[in-house]
């Protein structure tokens, strides 16, 4: 065996080191004590390293969660801003198109027609005639006939009413007047082709 003090090779049965004279029993005891504390320190160090790893992992997870929340917030804000600007742009465009249609309607007379059956198979025809005097008022005339209207049958004037024009997202124009709603038939060039009763 080796002497724990002088590191020389000595006999295994010696109670003392033949080289340095130290009592080997005491050295063995000290060595065991040192081994115990070494084991304790090693275990302590391992626990500290494990704790640091856990804390580091938790910090990384919290940072990742915080970064994810910030990224989500930024994406939502960007989408909201785009939506607001898009809505504002759509409203401006829609207002422009409605103003254009109102200008094109001035002086025009449009007739909406509807056919329905009554009684014993009588075919009734209704005609609503709208004459647009300016961008906010129109003259309203109405006639109901049995069968198609003859050339000499003229809708009767019912009064002058204010009207509003609205435009849907799909580009459909609606005119509201006197509690009734009409839909404008408009081509791709925004030219009015006719009107129908809704």
In whole angstroms, give the CA distance from residue 132 to residue 110. 8
Residue 193 structure tokens: 């082709």
Q: pLDDT value at position 163?
A: 96
What is the reported pTM?
Answer: 0.58
> For the chain (length 198 residues), average pLDDT per consecutive 10?
80 74 63 73 89 91 93 95 93 92 94 84 88 95 85 88 93 93 90 90
Residue 75's pLDDT is: 95
User: Cα(138)–Cα(45) distance, rounded to whole angstroms?
Assistant: 92
Residue 70: per-residue pLDDT: 95
pLDDT value at position 27?
A: 47
From CA 113, how far away is CA 143, in angstroms rounded? 10
- Residue 171: enclosing H or E segment and its boundaries? none
Ramachandran assignment for 46, one of left (phi > 0), alpha (psi -120 to 50 degrees), beta (any other): alpha
């Amino acid at each position: 065996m080796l002497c724990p003090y002088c590191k020389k090779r000595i006999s295994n049965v010696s109670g003392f080191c033949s080289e340095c004279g130290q009592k080997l029993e005491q050295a063995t005891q000290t060595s065991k004590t040192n081994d115990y504390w070494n084991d304790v320190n090693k275990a302590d160090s391992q626990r500290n390293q494990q704790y640091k790893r856990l804390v580091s992992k938790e910090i990384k997870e919290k940072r990742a969660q915080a970064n994810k929340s910030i990224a989500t917030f930024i994406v939502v804000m960007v989408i909201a801003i785009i939506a607001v600007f898009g809505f504002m742009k759509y409203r401006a465009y829609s207002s422009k198109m409605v103003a254009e249609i109102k200008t094109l309607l001035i002086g025009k007379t449009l007739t909406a027609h509807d056919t329905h059956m009554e009684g014993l198979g009588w075919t009734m025809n209704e005609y609503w005639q709208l004459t647009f005097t300016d961008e906010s008022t129109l003259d309203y005339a109405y006639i109901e006939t049995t069968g198609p209207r003859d050339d000499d049958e003229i809708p009767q004037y019912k009064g002058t009413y204010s009207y509003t024009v609205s435009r849907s997202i799909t580009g459909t124009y609606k005119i509201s007047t006197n509690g009734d709603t009409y839909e404008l038939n408009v081509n791709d060039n925004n030219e009015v082709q006719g009107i129908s009763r809704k």
